[in-house]
Structure 1
Amino acid sequence: MGDAHRIRFEPVDIEIEADEGETVLDAAFRQGVMLMHGCKEGQCSACKSFLLDGDVQMGRYSTFALADYESEEGYVLLCRSHAYSDLDVELLNYDEDMIRAGLPVVTVDTEVAAVEELTHDISLLRLAVSGDDEFKFHPGQYVDVAIPGCEEHRSFSMANLPRASGSELEFVIKRYPGGRFSGLLEGELRPGVPLSITGPYGTFTLRASSDRRIVLLAGGAGMAPILALLRQIAAKDDFDREVVFYYGARTERDLFLLDEIAELGGRIPGFSFVPVLSDAEWSGARGMVTAVAAEREAALADCDVYLCGPPPMIDAGLAALEERAVPQEQIFYDKFTVSAEAG
């Protein structure tokens, strides 16, 4: 490890300390400062910020995330930036409430408690935190799960609510042929198998201070963080915001947890659930889930919109929301990787 330096974030007036051997983003995570982020690998631009003062060196990153001209102007990716002096950084994308509500990122040991089949290609994985370790997180966040026998990891969102004691985590995971982790769900991940997790990460959390109507959109395993938010909302006695949940699938056999969604909806005043099938003849909504939601929701610009699912769904949803003039600060999304290499 190298020397430690002071990092000051504007305009939120927050300071952390970062060692030269860690990225600025990792240093923030370690100290419970939850900055906006996405891939954590220099492939997206969620953590892009402007360097006001100081000296940084960046590791390899995609020019799709940070163009050469942006780098020359002083923009940096915090997930690739190492501080070699004290820094003053202007955050471009931030939620001050989320930043200040951040939890320190930790690594804990868990073991498989159960693996259940939800559909023909989606599993529910339950992990029990080992020993006396405690794992805190906000509903909607995710962890990196280490793949046994190698140095790689995969990221999965928790579907459950945090527990006061006896930590257990639930994950909704889509299985892909040849998936490095998801392939293990078909037999190798039996109860008692140890797994190491690191987190919590992510800012896909309920903005409780808002009073706007909530529109939720999910597809595939994107159900996980949406389910966590629904469970959080249903647990609130005084929640009075209208909530609608659009879930996209191909056919009826790809729908799951319908009974629980109905039970949760019964505890949320003004709740409605709209399953949308893209490849089936049935009496319900048909087409792409983002298109159906955009068509049915006449006042999207007055809503808080949460999207979670594979990249094509998120990209289509963001385009539709931009067309409908939904303010960026009212849009929250979690883009799931869907390649076999990432499964």
Structure 2
Amino acid sequence: MTFHVTVQPSGRAFDVPTDETILSAAMRQGVGLPYGCKDGACGSCKCKMTEGRVAHGEHQDKALSADEEAAGFILTCCAKPQTDVVIEARTVVGAGEFPILKIPSRVSALTKVAPDVVVLKLQLPANNTFGYRAGQYVEFILRDNSRRSYSMASAPQAVNSEIELHIRHMPGGKFTDHVFGALKEKDILRVEGPFGTFFLREDSDKPIVLLASGTGFAPIKAIIEQLRAKGINRPAVLYWGARVKADLYLHDWAEQAAAEMPNLRYVPVLSDATPADNWSGRAGFVHQAVMADLPDLSGHEVYACGAPIMVDSARRDFTARCGLPADAFFADSFTSEADKNKSP
């Protein structure tokens, strides 16, 4: 049995089998609904259901609270329709532009850029047709068929023969222990993608705030490379937050990009600088540095990526205190497997 799902205000409609989530069916049929983790942990796919009934799978309370669910909100990534359904959600132009592919990739370089961060470069098959938008991510398919998600840190090229990813070591993590232990050049890894609706909206001319914490810098780096490659001259400022200076693992790259791109500024921010850092730059929480410099964000777009607490704080404070329109905040919250596996 299938049910009919209608998306307002766009009027897009598609059918969903009873055993499939709304998001999965939308992606399969090229309907660009917003989403992030696909695991009920980040809340990026939350929208209002105005008609119908769904059954929700497991999800995190922070992604969808009981009060929100009672008020008619759903997570399309874990909601399976029980009747025909009407939802209110913005459709994301370009989200289904590139087909989702499963491809083998060969490790071409492993570079340790911080004590707990590796830049991993993957060579794709010579005949590949893999395409993506800067900001999107791939999933590694592990031997037990579990998956781990990482954003591309390099902008798409005319022929994507290589992609770059930034991997932070999570001690005890099934995948990152392997990356920081046994993985070596020429090893083969299986990836699938592209996924995600976090990418630059090129139909806008608004000034851009790029906000990153930790390895949330990866998709932001890809967006900066895209701005440069396409000659997009919108004013942009990069705020990169970390605990100590070593965590700004591509600080020199960011400084050089800002020096070479007249419309890009770079503001690094440390929350726990040590005397050894000899730090004379900005201190504190990175999203608060944005608010101090740009108290009026009403005419901006914000692209935020990193730890959930940073993304959530920025979304709340920028919209409530700096006048940022809710639909001008684009985010990718880096939820770990530990976050996803917490009891709902």
When normalised by structure 2's length, the TM-score is: 0.87
Contact 2:236 2:263 (C-alpha < 8 Å) held by counterparts? yes
Aligned pairs (5 A) from 1:1-343: 3-54=1-52, 56-68=54-66, 70-71=68-69, 74-83=72-81, 87-92=84-89, 94-99=90-95, 102-130=97-125, 132-147=127-142, 149-237=143-231, 239-280=232-273, 281-321=278-318, 322-338=320-336
The aligned amino acid for 2:279 is W
- In structure 1, runs of 5+ residues without a counterpart are none
The aligned amino acid for 1:117 is K
Distance in 1 between residues matched to 2:135 and 2:108, nearest whole Å: 21
Contact 2:152 2:219 (C-alpha < 8 Å) held by counterparts? yes
Distance in 2 between residues matched to 1:67 and 1:251, nearest whole Å: 34
Distance in 1 between residues matched to 2:338 and 2:51, nearest whole Å: 41
Deviations, residues 109-163 of structure 1 (Å, cap 9, x unaligned) = 223222111111111111222363322111001122123x323211111011223
Contact 1:29 1:103 (C-alpha < 8 Å) held by counterparts? no
Deviations, residues 95-119 of structure 1 (Å, cap 9, x unaligned) = 44345x5433332222322211111
C-alpha deviation, 1:38, in angstroms? 2.5
Change (3 A) 1:55 1:286: closer
Change (3 A) 1:81 1:26: same
Q: Identity, % of aligned pairs?
A: 35
C-alpha deviation, 1:261, in angstroms? 2.3
Change (3 A) 1:16 1:340: closer
Deviations, residues 161-198 of structure 1 (Å, cap 9, x unaligned) = 22322532211111121122111122322123222222
Change (3 A) 1:57 1:324: same
Change (3 A) 1:88 1:208: same
Change (3 A) 1:225 1:106: same
Contact 1:33 1:104 (C-alpha < 8 Å) held by counterparts? no
CA RMSD of superposed structures (Å): 2.6
Contact 1:32 1:104 (C-alpha < 8 Å) held by counterparts? no
Q: Which segment is superposed worse, 106-115 or 213-222? A: 106-115
Distance in 2 between residues matched to 1:271 and 1:73, nearest whole Å: 42
Change (3 A) 1:263 1:32: farther
Distance in 1 between residues matched to 2:92 and 2:245, nearest whole Å: 41
Distance in 2 between residues matched to 1:250 and 1:296, nearest whole Å: 20
Change (3 A) 1:39 1:210: same
Report the 3-state secondary structure (helix = DSSP H, G, I; strand = E; otherwise coil) of the residue aligned with 2:174. coil
Q: Which segment is superposed worse, 165-174 or 133-142? A: 165-174
Contact 1:44 1:65 (C-alpha < 8 Å) held by counterparts? yes
Distance in 2 between residues matched to 1:8 and 1:341, nearest whole Å: 31
Deviations, residues 49-88 of structure 1 (Å, cap 9, x unaligned) = 3444556433233444344455455443211223455x34
Distance in 2 between residues matched to 1:279 and 1:70, nearest whole Å: 36
C-alpha deviation, 1:339, in angstroms? 6.6
Deviations, residues 242-291 of structure 1 (Å, cap 9, x unaligned) = 11111112222222323432343344323211111222242211222112
Report the 3-state secondary structure (helix = DSSP H, G, I; strand = E; otherwise coil) of the residue aligned with 1:97. coil
Distance in 2 between residues matched to 1:341 and 1:316, nearest whole Å: 17
Distance in 2 between residues matched to 1:253 and 1:59, nearest whole Å: 40
Q: How many residue pairs were aligned? A: 336
Contact 1:6 1:16 (C-alpha < 8 Å) held by counterparts? yes
Distance in 2 between residues matched to 1:76 and 1:251, nearest whole Å: 38
Change (3 A) 1:45 1:339: closer
Contact 1:110 1:128 (C-alpha < 8 Å) held by counterparts? yes
Distance in 2 between residues matched to 1:55 and 1:293, nearest whole Å: 41
Contact 2:41 2:335 (C-alpha < 8 Å) held by counterparts? no
Report the 3-state secondary structure (helix = DSSP H, G, I; strand = E; otherwise coil) of the residue aligned with 1:306. strand
- In structure 2, runs of 5+ residues without a counterpart are none
Q: Which segment is superposed worse, 171-180 or 254-263? A: 254-263
Distance in 1 between residues matched to 2:131 and 2:76, nearest whole Å: 24
Q: Which segment is superposed worse, 101-110 or 213-222? A: 101-110
Distance in 2 between residues matched to 1:267 and 1:33, nearest whole Å: 38
The aligned amino acid for 1:253 is A
